[in-house]
Structure 1
């Protein structure tokens, strides 16, 4: 366990003298599940948090231990407060041992915080914190010597938190990303998530097949001149493409085809109330967005509105602006292209085309 620079050897000696270190490491090695291994990891961390030599040199161990104890007691709100305190209170990071390790331990503490938020049903906040800490897991694991107890401990930590990150993503509807994170959890050692991986792979395959079937029915109806029926199937396919993306985007080719068929209808399809509702939700989400998760929420609402009202041209412009704000220039380009298709006679068409060139350039730069 890395405690802080040269203090490591002394810290381990201290807990070994107290008779705490060896039993907990053995429990981590022999545990039957990731949950049991993680419990043993936290038992060691919690004991360190009550060891004067440790918490005097690394004060953040005190709120960390407090949060772990609250988590064990099921007091997840108290655990959240303790972990936030450890992250945000500068008083815990003033010592010569704590200060250099603040970036690493702040990310680690965010993993604890994300789990406490998940336990309270605060899914969006949990995902936001997990998204910040999960990329650091490989570097945490590599801090330890290959095969060492230190490295095994960080693998347990990473496996456990990827498991619950995946559950949070699944609850949010982002099946694609959840599947990716579950696979990481499995690679880190959480063999029990294999059932989750199989379940989501089956779900993804079924949805992909459903999208293909909707497109097949749409094309057949269009060939038979049944344009309103074709539009219904294209909208279904468009919605499925959004679901498959984890509500992050839609398939631009399906979007363009849906718009083309909708424009051929006379009279054109009316904007349903459900689309107006989602557009209003999106607008509110943009205004209240304080972080990337707020913009992601807005995009999800815009996608629902677009799938319901594919000819409502303003939706594409508004969504494109959010995508650009997020740095997702290709998505912004795709949506502005759809705007021109939905409103070919728009008075700002020339301005939009210029903007498309700008977004194309930015998207290409991002790929380099």
Structure 2
């Protein structure tokens, strides 16, 4: 029996070494996303994994710098091209830290200003998904923006279609 305990201990350690920690998993998933930035399924998995971590993953300094630069560009933007430059900077921040809800919110704002509504809606959805449950302000803000955009699209469609294909005034399709 005394000989069996060390063997079980060694087996448990070997098993633990084979199991990837969430942080290692996250790092590997981020690397895959950086190679395939349009993989939204992977992006969603990254956000969900990061939300389960305690503490949340640290934000790399380069991601912070990209967000600050994008925010400056957004604030100074005067035309579509300026908003697209800000959008690209936010996307760079997100590729570094794809779990960062604030970056998705700001990306959605830039996409909305650039007239890219489907992309903005996706960004606002990622913002809501990545917002910690205790921080309802951002989550509600993202949902509001999403609903507002859907309502604008519905109103535009109602004007074009005479309200025949969509139930007008509901804010939903």
TM-score scaled by structure 1? Answer: 0.34
After TM superposition, give the deviation of residue 322 of structure 1 in Å.
0.8
Deviation digits for residues 292-324 of structure 1 (CA, Å, limit 9, x no counterpart)? 222221111111111222333211111111111
Which runs of no fewer than 5 residues in structure 1 stay unpaired? Answer: 1-222, 243-249
Cα distance in 2 for partners of 1:328, 1:321 equals 10
Change in 2 beyond 3 A, CA 1:359/1:241: farther
After TM superposition, give the deviation of residue 253 of structure 1 in Å.
2.4
Q: Which has the larger share of helix?
A: 1
Provide the secondary structure at the position in 2 that maps to 1:266.
coil
Change in 2 beyond 3 A, CA 1:239/1:273: same
1:313 maps to 2:108: no
Partner in structure 2 of residue 236 of structure 1:
31
Which runs of no fewer than 5 residues in structure 2 stay unpaired? Answer: 1-17, 162-173
Checking the alignment, whether the CA contact within 8 Å between 1:316 and 1:336 is kept in structure 2 is yes
Change in 2 beyond 3 A, CA 1:273/1:330: same
After TM superposition, give the deviation of residue 259 of structure 1 in Å.
0.7
Find 2:136's aligned residue among 325, 329, 347: 347
1:359 maps to 2:161: no
| Greater relative contact order (CA < 8 Å, ≥ 6 in sequence) | 2
Cα distance in 2 for partners of 1:295, 1:268 equals 30
1:257 maps to 2:52: no
TM-score scaled by structure 2? Answer: 0.67
Root-mean-square deviation (CA), in Å?
2.5
Partner in structure 2 of residue 226 of structure 1:
21
Provide the secondary structure at the position in 2 that maps to 1:315.
helix
Based on CA coordinates, which of the two structures has the bigger radius of gyration?
1
- Paired residues, what number? 138
